[in-house]
A and B are shown apart, each in its own frame.
Chain A
């Protein structure tokens, strides 16, 4: 079994990878150990409020590259370690049997060169599947610039793959991660997306949970509008399952290029809120924000949108289409589902909404029930009352418990 010291080093450098989702795959167990749960399962939550679903670990943190924002950059003086494929496999199996995890999230620094690293990763996942008969979830981080054949072969064994976009523009990439290029990152993303399309038509099991990506925000000057435009394009063009954002944290480096301070968790939270609105609520990016702007920190993106469209409100709870109900601040998909279910049986009044435990604090200013409006009278009062307390930024984590069956039809796609 892997030593505690090695585990610490390899996990410590892997923890900044945001993705921990184990959803989207329904791999079956055929006599081995493990299966995937389509909705994903969270096994634990760390004290930062993030979920532990997968064993998140690096093959090695010995890196050839020197990306300025990264803790593992070559010039940084940190303890280094290399794990063997067997060590990773054994640890995954033991953790899995104890029900600590849903599977493995394997990533690596670029050791020797991209191909060599990718071969190590591939060897590990093949061993895990063939020798250890592991049929649980595997998320593999792809190494940009590695041979196409290696990447495609890995796709046959794992459930999800991801190539990190790292930074929201080519210019920033050149500046902060000179050894990585936009082409080396985007070409495998595009290739995988094409391969998946083709495999879908022949019902093969290539990357059942698709691919995701991640970018760092606040290390470079791009605005939220630009980042969200990019996100929207990634969802559309490459059918990515998720785009993750990670707020830049300054790490022991004196640099004139990098900002001195973190972008903050509230900005990251706002981006996720907007991302949710795009994926599940039918919003287009240009409805929420223009390319040169940042999202408001005072109001969540839905609230900000509603406040700038007074002509569309209030909406009548008893007649509004579900798409419009979901656009009311304070009413989420779950509440919208409850409302459209309940109104099949009769008219709903304010008391009815309260009985259904629909939070009215914000919503009341945007709805009528049977024609009655009970919210604040002036637009200014509404704006003031909805202002979020700047001293206590609330941020929720990306991981959520999966929805129950009855809600699946409403909460389309994966959590």
Chain B
């Protein structure tokens, strides 16, 4: 059985409700952008606020704080995330118990993995984001994360920079988090990343190259810790700089 949903948590929760109501087994979830095989039965699930609410309420009762793991996992960029979360929710409802740490269960472990990936990327980005200073004196950071986490890292930078204006530009999920030194705003718009010329970037590249110990070269380890997909927005990795 295939369910087609829109990319929203509410819609996914509605799908859970429908699957219990109709006793559908072996459900895979696809978003409307996906191609599906024509051998299986397909149902299109429309978001229903009330049904979604009932599922959320039931889950919160079982999971307490760890319900937030579901919200976090839903930000995942993995293509099968909807099915993984769906299976985890069903497993939880069936057990009627908080099984979030039952790692020997494959539904739980798959869920744990995508949830951890989101959590890890939030942490990585706190380090890997690079700001450049524009002529207007605004610090601008373009980036392209795996998961939809732009607004989750915003509070970190607000606390850190307090009165410094900056913009976090997620050009993959088309989100801009702007902070003017007092308040923040999230804008959804598709804009290509800007190129900013900033002398300090050049100085940092010099620093990065100098602090390396050549006799201990270990590029594989470097790439393990700092995956290549993040290099594109890092001045120290910009060969043209």
Q: Which residues of A contact B (CB under 8 A)?
A: 1-2, 4, 7-8, 11-12, 14-16, 29, 31-35, 37, 41-53, 55-56, 91, 94-95, 97-100, 136, 249, 262, 265, 338, 341-342, 344-346, 348, 352-353, 355-357, 395-397, 399, 401-402, 404
- Among A35, A43, A345, the residue within 8 A (CB) of B159 is A35
Q: List 18 A-B contacts (CB under 8 A).
A: A7-B206, A31-B163, A33-B162, A34-B160, A44-B208, A44-B234, A48-B217, A49-B219, A49-B224, A50-B216, A95-B204, A100-B204, A345-B102, A345-B104, A345-B105, A346-B102, A395-B218, A404-B116
In the complex, chain B residues whose CB is within 8 Å of the CB of A396: 221
Whether the Cβ atoms of B221 and A356 lie closer than 8 Å is no
Q: Indicate if the CB atoms of A346 and B104 lie closer than 8 Å.
A: yes
Closest to B212 in A: A46
A21 to chain B, nearest CB (A): 13
Interface residues of B in 195-241 (CB under 8 A from A): 198-201, 203-204, 206-208, 210-222, 224-226, 234, 236
Answer whether residue B188 sits at the interface, using C-beta atoms and an 8 A cutoff: no
Shortest 3 CB-CB contacts between residues of A and residues of B: A49-B221, A352-B104, A341-B101
List, in ascending order, chain A residues with CB within 8 A of B201's CB: 98
Partner of B219, one of A15, A16, A47: A47
State in angstroms the CA–CA spacing of A11 and B236 once bound together: 15
Q: How far is the CB of B43 from chain A (nearest CB, A)?
A: 30
* Bound-state Cα–Cα, A42 to B230, Å: 13
- Which chain B residues numbered 9 to 25 have a C-beta less than 8 Å away from chain A? none
CB distance from A369 to the nearest CB of B (A): 11
Closest B residue to A357 by beta carbon equals B109
Q: Is the CB of A11 within 8 A of B211?
A: yes
Contact A397 B221, beta carbon cutoff 8 Å? yes
B104 and A355 within 8 A (CB): yes
The interface residues of chain A lying within 8 Å CB-to-CB of B198 are 98
Q: B160 contacts A355, CB within 8 Å? A: no
Question: Which of B99, B104, B162 is packed against the most chain A CB atoms within 10 Å?
Answer: B104
Residues of A with C-beta under 8 A to B106? 355
| Smallest Cβ-Cβ distance to A30: which chain B residue | B162
Contact between chains at A404 and B207 (CB < 8 Å): no
A97 to B221, CA, bound (A): 27
- Contact across chains for B162 and A32 when beta carbons are under 8 A apart: yes
Q: Which of B55-63, B79-87, B120-128, B169-177 contacts A (4 or more CB under 8 A)?
A: B120-128
Cβ–Cβ < 8 Å partners of B104 in chain A: 342, 345-346, 348, 352-353, 355-356
Q: A14-B211, A97-B164 are in contact. List 18 more A-B contacts (CB 8 A).
A: A1-B203, A12-B210, A31-B162, A41-B123, A41-B126, A44-B226, A49-B219, A49-B225, A50-B216, A56-B211, A95-B200, A97-B131, A98-B198, A100-B204, A262-B215, A342-B102, A355-B105, A397-B225
Is there contact, CB below 8 Å, between A345 and B99?
Answer: yes
Instruction: Tell which of B103, B123, B212 has the most Cβ of chain A within 10 Å.
Output: B103
The answer on a CB contact under 8 Å between B133 and A356 is no
Complex interface: chain B residues within 8 A of A47 (CB): 212, 217-219, 222
Interface centre among A31, A45, A56 (most CB of B within 10 A): A45
Q: Is B119 an interface residue (CB 8 A)?
A: yes
Q: How many residues of B contact A (CB 8 A)?
A: 57
**Residues in chain A near residue B51, CB distance under 8 A:** none
> Which residues from chain B contact A44 at a C-beta distance below 8 Å?
127-128, 208, 226, 234, 236
The CA of A47 and the CA of B219, in the complex, are separated in Å by 5
A352 to B106 alpha-carbon distance, docked (Å):
8
Minimum CB distance partner of B160 in chain A: A35
Neighbouring B residues of A16 by C-beta, 8 Å: 213
Contact at A52–B211, with CB atoms within 8 Å?
Answer: yes
Whether B141 and A99, one on each chain, are in contact in the complex, defined by CB atoms closer than 8 angstroms, is yes
Q: Which residues of B contact A11 (CB under 8 A)?
A: 207, 210-211
Output the least CB separation between B146 and chain A (Å): 15
Contacting pair B102 A48 (CB below 8 A): no
Which residue from chain B places its CB closest to the CB of A354 in the assembled complex?
B104
A42 adjacent to B131 (CB under 8 Å): no
Chain B CB within 10 Å, residue with most, of A15, A44, A50: A44
The answer, yes or no, to whether B132 is at the interface (CB within 8 Å) is yes
Q: Are B162 and A45 in contact (CB under 8 A)?
A: no
Is residue B93 within 8 Å, beta carbon to beta carbon, of the partner chain? no
- Chain A residues with Cβ below 8 Å from B161 are 33, 97
Would A48 and B212 be within 8 Å (CB), given that A94-B200, A95-B200, A356-B109 are in contact?
Answer: yes
Task: Give chain B interface residues in 121-162, CB to chain A under 8 Å.
Answer: 123-124, 126-133, 139, 141, 157, 159-162
Known: A345-B104, A355-B103. A97 touches B120 (CB 8 A): no
Known interface pairs A15-B213, A56-B211, A98-B139. Does A356 touch B103 (Cβ–Cβ under 8 Å)? yes
A1 to B201, CA, bound (A): 13
> Please, which residue of chain B has its CB at the minimum distance from the CB of A56?
B211
In the complex, chain B residues whose CB is within 8 Å of the CB of A344: 101-102
Cα of A56 to Cα of B207 in the assembled complex, Å: 9
Q: Is the CB of A402 within 8 A of B213?
A: no
The winner among A56, A97, A357 for most chain B CB atoms within 10 A is A97
Most chain B CB inside 10 Å of its own CB: which residue of A48, A95, A402, A404:
A48
- In this complex, what residue of A is CB-closest to B216? A48
Select which of A43, A55, A404 is within 8 A of B128 by beta carbon.
A43
Nearest chain A CB to B99's CB is how many angstroms away?
Answer: 6
For residue A258, give the distance in angstroms from its CB to the closest CB of chain B.
Answer: 16
A344 to B98, CA, bound (A): 12
CB neighbours (8 Å) of A51 from chain B are 225
Nearest-neighbor residue (CB-CB) of A397 within chain B: B221
Partner of B103, one of A33, A43, A342: A342
Given contacts A44-B236, A404-B119, A50 and B226 within 8 Å (CB-CB): no
How far is it, in angstroms, between the C-alpha of A56 and the C-alpha of B210 when the chains are bound?
A: 11
Which residues of the partner chain B approach A41 to less than 8 Å between Cβ atoms? 123, 126-127
